[in-house]
Amino acid sequence: MEKDKLEADKLHKIRHSLSHVLAKAVKGLYPQAKLAIGPVIDNGFYYDIDFGKEKISSDDLEKIEKDMKAIINQNLEFKSFVLGIDEAIDREKKLEEKYKVELIEDLKKAGEKEVSYYQVGDFVDLCKGPHVENTQQIDTRAFSLFKLAGAYWRGDENREMLTRIYGLAFLNKKELLDYKKMLEEAEKRDHRKLGKELGLFVFSDVVGKGLPMLTEKGASMRRTLEKFIVDEEIKRGYRHVITPDLAKLELYKKSGHYPYYKDSMYAPIKIDEEEFMLRPMACPHHFEMYLTEPRSYRDLPFKMAELAKLYRYEQSGELSGLMRVRSFCLADAHIICADNRQAKEEVAGVLDLIDFVCQKLGLEPDKDYWYRLSLGDRQDEKKYHKNDKAWDEAESSLRQLLKDKGSKFVEAEAEAAFYGPKIDVQMKNVLGKEDTAFTVQWDFVMPERFKLVYTSQAGKEERAIVIHRSSIGAIERVMAFLIEFYAGRFPLWLSPVQVKLISVGEKHIEAVKSLSQEFKEQGIRSEIDISDETVGNKIRKSASEKIPYILVIGDKEVNSSKLAIRVRGEKDMIEIEKAEFIKKIKQEIEDFK
């Protein structure tokens, strides 16, 4: 652990120093360039620079990188000094570094009296440090300039558009190469790229950003996931309901989501004299359903689930394929429980369901996913509902459950919902970025707001506890995740096209069509390729589409009951009786269940 920490500090210093070296190289090549900021990031560093009228392209990165290496090889020292704040402002004004001026003026407004600078060779830059002592501590084979991007000064779209130069930087050459390989693999797996190649979804400018349209292939995947989770949840005693995507603004005032959640919601729609909202969450609808009848302890736990269509505001810059969209479908549920004991049992049931779902999706516990116990911050009474006893009970119940499971979990302060603590199921995407995939939340606030009560065995009115949970997440997001996880090589049950039928010649087209129809009748998803291409090309194309089974139909197949099949990943064709193949493929799909 100590060693990790030391290495991390060292890497941070290297990256930070490289950003100065980058700036020095740029100023050498483009003296008119104005520097903005150059921080360290996850995989290296960047610098935002105003190149003025000059335009630079990625071709220029090579030249800059070459100069950076030359600078490093001069074994220059990093030295720091301090200037009085007004002196610093004067300095930058003289150099016409307007971004630095603005930064220092803001520091002055914030009460700073002086600022620190770092000098490397003849290059001086405003900086808090820390840095390496000498550029010789930087391995020139362990960094490389990576890409260019546009970035608004201070992230404000009304300010100057700057050029951001990204660099990758690691401790040694191997780490850099490994990272580049990972990036390459991630790029190949990028669901936006694969989604397009495999024809799973499309966008249209005139329909709008963040609003993907699923083709028949993408839609088949989605329906498969939806049916899987609905069937499973019904087996597990959930009442699968369907409630509307909108509701009166009043509902969100009642729940307390409005105005706190307002920034994530779309503007209200006026219908007659009432205001309606596209819903950002389904809990208020489910609570209203619970309230339509008096409930008794016999009805509890009352488990309402829904494939809930939700709408949340995302800035257009944040939108990304199926991962970040403006309208999504959450496999949502709300479990109304009688008491803490029942709530704890139900959370255990949810964790079991999530394990089951993950297993079916091919994910391994502790490797592909793990738990995070997200706690409240008792000091922050603005963000978290005040009720120490309820927090204590809920937090210790959740912690106990995770311990009993024996699964890997971390605890995270101040990550809870405002109404109670939660267990988040965490996953990493192909770029190694951690994200919450599913969540189980303990809620002792909404039952008060909505008066969610039941009649106890003793005939008394008791307040319930609510568990909010998602099981398979937002369907769009899980699709994006699975595309990247499988790099498009989906297991048979999820494959949008399970069998591809290829005709050898013109005279086999009818046989291909009729066999495809036979598969359809059997519920097997098939696609045909009856183009004029050669059989070899057609097989290659189907293989690139990562289709589990490819069937080639020629004279021999037309004249017998045998099929010639190529199994995904195998080179050779195998021969099989048609009836046997249908049985086998149906069994393979069935076995998944």
Bridge partners (DSSP) of residue 277 are 247
Which 314-343 residues touch a second copy, going by CB under 8 A?
315-316, 326-327
Whether 144 and 90 have beta carbons less than 8 Å apart is answered as: no
Secondary structure class of 269 (helix, strand, coil): strand
Q: Does 533 bind a second copy (CB under 8 A)?
A: no
Q: Which is nearer to a second copy, 9 or 274 (CB)?
A: 274
Q: Does 272 bind a second copy (CB under 8 A)?
A: yes
Q: Which stretch binds a second copy (CB under 8 A): 185-193, 212-220, 380-388, 499-507?
A: 212-220
Q: Does 197 bind a second copy (CB under 8 A)?
A: no
Q: Does 291 bind a second copy (CB under 8 A)?
A: yes
DSSP letter, residue 560:
S
Q: Which stretch binds a second copy (CB under 8 A): 107-115, 247-255, 421-429, 457-465?
A: 247-255
Closest approach, Cβ 535 to a second copy, in A, equals: 18
Of the CA atoms within 13 Å of residue 185, those in its CB half-sphere come to 13
Q: Which is nearer to a second copy, 60 or 545 (CB)?
A: 545
DSSP letter, residue 266:
P
Whether 407 and 368 have beta carbons less than 8 Å apart is answered as: no
Among 41, 70, 95, 211, binds a second copy (CB under 8 A): 211
Q: Does 156 bind a second copy (CB under 8 A)?
A: no
Closest approach, Cβ 518 to a second copy, in A, equals: 11
Closest approach, Cβ 524 to a second copy, in A, equals: 11
DSSP letter, residue 206:
T
Q: Does 169 bind a second copy (CB under 8 A)?
A: no
Q: Does 566 bind a second copy (CB under 8 A)?
A: no
Q: Which stretch binds a second copy (CB under 8 A): 88-96, 223-231, 425-433, 493-501?
A: 223-231
Going across the sheet that includes 239-240, the strands are 239-240, 302-311, 327-337, 465-474, 434-443, 422-428, 369-374, 409-412
Q: Does 243 bind a second copy (CB under 8 A)?
A: yes
Which 512-531 residues touch a second copy, going by CB under 8 A?
517, 520-521, 523, 531
Q: Does 345 bind a second copy (CB under 8 A)?
A: no
Q: Which is nearer to a second copy, 177 or 291 (CB)?
A: 291
Q: Which stretch binds a second copy (CB under 8 A): 78-86, 250-258, 480-488, 494-502?
A: 250-258
DSSP letter, residue 507:
G
Q: Does 136 bind a second copy (CB under 8 A)?
A: no
Q: Which is nearer to a second copy, 109 or 298 (CB)?
A: 298
Tell me which residue of 25, 122, 33, 26 sits closest to 78, measured CA to CA. Answer: 122
Closest approach, Cβ 538 to a second copy, in A, equals: 14
- Long-range contacts of the stretch 403-411 (C-beta < 8 A, 24+): 405/351, 407/365, 407/366, 407/370, 407/371, 408/365, 408/366, 408/370, 408/371, 409/370, 409/371, 409/372, 409/373, 410/370, 410/371, 410/372, 410/373, 411/372, 411/373, 411/375
Q: Which stretch binds a second copy (CB under 8 A): 139-147, 285-293, 406-414, 451-459?
A: 285-293
369 to 335, 364, 488: CA distances (angstroms): 24, 7, 20
Q: Which stretch binds a second copy (CB under 8 A): 39-47, 106-114, 276-284, 375-383?
A: 276-284
Tell me which residue of 544, 551, 545, 546 sits closest to 500, measured CA to CA. Answer: 551
Is the backbone of residue 130 left (phi > 0), alpha (psi -120 to 50) or beta? Answer: beta
Q: Which stretch binds a second copy (CB under 8 A): 34-42, 269-277, 344-352, 428-436?
A: 269-277
Q: Does 206 bind a second copy (CB under 8 A)?
A: yes
Q: Which stretch binds a second copy (CB under 8 A): 174-182, 288-296, 342-350, 428-436?
A: 288-296
Among 119, 134, 140, 215, binds a second copy (CB under 8 A): 215
Residues 6+ away with beta carbon under 8 Å from 538: 502, 529, 531
Q: Which is nearer to a second copy, 9 or 352 (CB)?
A: 352
Q: Which stretch binds a second copy (CB under 8 A): 265-273, 364-372, 382-390, 427-435?
A: 265-273
Q: Which is nearer to a second copy, 15 or 285 (CB)?
A: 285
Among 24, 164, 189, 222, binds a second copy (CB under 8 A): 222
Q: Does 259 bind a second copy (CB under 8 A)?
A: no
Residues 6+ away with beta carbon under 8 Å from 132: 13, 14, 17, 78, 138
Closest approach, Cβ 247 to a second copy, in A, equals: 5
Instruction: Output the CA torsion sign for 417, 421, 427, 431.
Output: positive
DSSP letter, residue 272:
T
Among 52, 208, 259, 505, binds a second copy (CB under 8 A): 208
Distance between CA 354 and CA 370 in Å, rounded? 11
Q: Does 455 bind a second copy (CB under 8 A)?
A: no
Q: Does 110 bind a second copy (CB under 8 A)?
A: no
Which helix (H) or strand (E) segment is 103 a member of?
helix 98-109
Among 56, 176, 225, 230, binds a second copy (CB under 8 A): 230
DSSP letter, residue 364:
P
Question: Where in 314-396 does DSSP place strands (E)?
Answer: 327-337, 369-374
Distance between CA 337 and CA 302 in Å, rounded? 7
Tell me which residue of 566, 530, 527 sits closest to 548, measured CA to CA. Answer: 566
Radius of gyration, alpha carbons of the chain: 30
Among 12, 180, 188, 239, binds a second copy (CB under 8 A): 239
**Torsion from C-alpha of 496, 436, 169, 485, nearest 10 degrees:** -20
Q: What residues make contact with a second copy under the rule CB under 8 A?
A: 202, 204, 206-208, 211-216, 218-220, 222-223, 227, 230-231, 234-235, 239-248, 250-251, 254, 266-267, 269-272, 274, 276, 278, 284-285, 288-289, 291-292, 298, 304, 309, 313, 315-316, 326-327, 517, 520-521, 523, 531
